[in-house]
Structure 1
Amino acid sequence: MKLGKTLIVTGLLFSSVLGSVNVNNITAMAAEVPAGGASVTPPAGGASVTPPAGGASVTPPAGGASVTPPAGGASVTPPAGGASVTPPAGGASVTPPAGGASVTPPTGGASVTPSVNEDQKVTVKFKSKNNKEKFETVVVHAPKDSHIITSSGFKLPKGYRLAQKKNQFDIQNGSVEVLIEKIPSRGGHGGRASQRIRVSFFDQNGDEVGFKQLNGKDGISTTIEAPAGYSLVNSSDATIKFDKKGNKDIKINVTKNKPTPVMSEGIVTTNSGEYFHLYTIEGKDITNRGLSGDSKWYTDQYATINGEKMYRVATNEWVKATDVYK
């Protein structure tokens, strides 16, 4: 306390010139700023305390008054009561005041412990399509101001998947409802054997006009349809049943659907040329007959055969509309 003693002596010297001086006041002034950096116990009543120059720690006032930090970079314990704290210039860490007051970060780049914002708790309720299964609810956390939660924020019950093609759910009254469905088992149907069947379709000429590849489990039945433009000769062939015999090929007879002719009488004349092909109503080319060029023919019907308009010039003999003019 060398400075203290010096101040007292100086005060006494001045007292001879200026009059009487209260020694107690001089002593109190000296106690405010020790030169040796010792700790200072603040006055009772909440008065401000000027920190020591030597960087010693300062115990804050009990009344919640502000504290100016030490210049030497020592740590500051925040006042009780939530007053603001100006951080040390030396970059020491600052613990934020209790009560939520703001903290100015240190200029030296030291870390500041931030205040924590509370998240909201969201209850996730799972519901199956048939509404028969019961599931345990799951409580997850979401940002306080968020109105939605994504599927990545919670775990689905084992063996289930989302039943809808969406991954965002609206938070309503602190909860969300998620529709789920059971994941199909790869070995379904009670572990029945799998079978592959190839169904080939043949027309009345013995030509393959299409095929279908089917897969199913033993004991399961499915139905099929003939290729477009064809009909099954036997309607019972529409039902295919899978069995334990393994993979197999099935041949089914079909007949081509006949076009519906439209009545239209008149005379058609073939274009110039040697001859023109004739076709059946099923669309098959007649190879042993044809129409000569520049010849006239009576027609009573036309129809769309193989996607083309044709005129009938004889029983089940048709000529393309592009080969004649009317």
Structure 2
Amino acid sequence: MSTLTAPAPAAATASSRRHSRRRKAVWLVILIVVVAAIAALSVTFGTRAVGIGDIVDGLRGDIDSASAAAVAKRVPRTILALLVGAALAVAGTVMQGVTRNPLADPQILGINGGASLAVVIGLAFFGVTSAFGYIWLAMLGAAVAAVFVYTIGSLGRGGASPLKLALAGAATAVAFTSLISAILLPRIDVMSVFRFWQIGGVGGGTFEKIALVAPFLLVGVLVCIGSSGALNSLALGDELAAGLGERIRIARLVSAAGAVILCGAATAVAGPIGFVGLIVPHVCRLIVGPDHRWLLPVSAVVGGGLLTLADVVGRVIARPQEIEVGIVTALIGAPFFIAIVRRQRMRAL
């Protein structure tokens, strides 16, 4: 007489999945707490350190003292850094998923360069000076650059390989930089406006800018998070993803559109900040794995914290002056980029 037993492997698998979800949720909570602490540091430290009383006065709008006035300026700056960092990190994660390229980043693929070129053209030839105009121009330039780089990287045998996309993006970024210089050199008036924006920073953050860019960032994030399932399928390869019922072209187009919106909006208000979208996805995969349903929100949290921390470092190490956050992220990101390239090369051997 035989007895029925529960399928132990299935029960073990379900238990393992629950444990994995709990672990990822715990990590997400820990990261949120860490980022909140970084945000508090951003409000507290800078060219002038402030106390609790100054923070309270600044939040209430009572800016009679210089310290309280500094707090009132740092609060929107901190919020903008969190939003821009989250946007760039999510965009980088999506780009790496869409292209299956570990080197994908808005800066490396020339997308930030396309956004910058569009803003310069608007400044020089159409007299665009409003933040709202910058946003639309930057998104248009980012979209054109993304299509151009992907088209160039898809030529020849093998399609859009990671190496071809990285080379096409690097060449395109150099070309855009040259075009920007050619436009700016005879236009001193435009250059004076553009030179500080070109470095990349969040020092000009205001609640008006945040209110203007927040809807675009929200739409971009929702599109990207809504594409997380498709990104998981694309990670398996085009043939297998198609076998699972995924529409490859539509999935790539929608995901890339969300990333372009995020890149364009973030670049418009903070300038072309590089390497956040490269560093954060790799770090977050070590924490929560490759599942984009977890990877995207965790990347948003870590990206916001990284850019805010870089802004704090730039303010503290050069007192009483400031180092723009774009310079700090470049100093961090360049060695990281070299390390990734070396690792990919070793794998190919």
Asked whether the two chains share a fold, i.e. TM above 0.5, the reply is no
State the structure with bigger RCO (CA 8 A, min sep 6), 1 or 2: 2
Richer in helix (by share):
2
Richer in strand (by share):
1
**When the two structures are superposed, what TM-score results if normalisation uses the length of structure 1?**
0.15
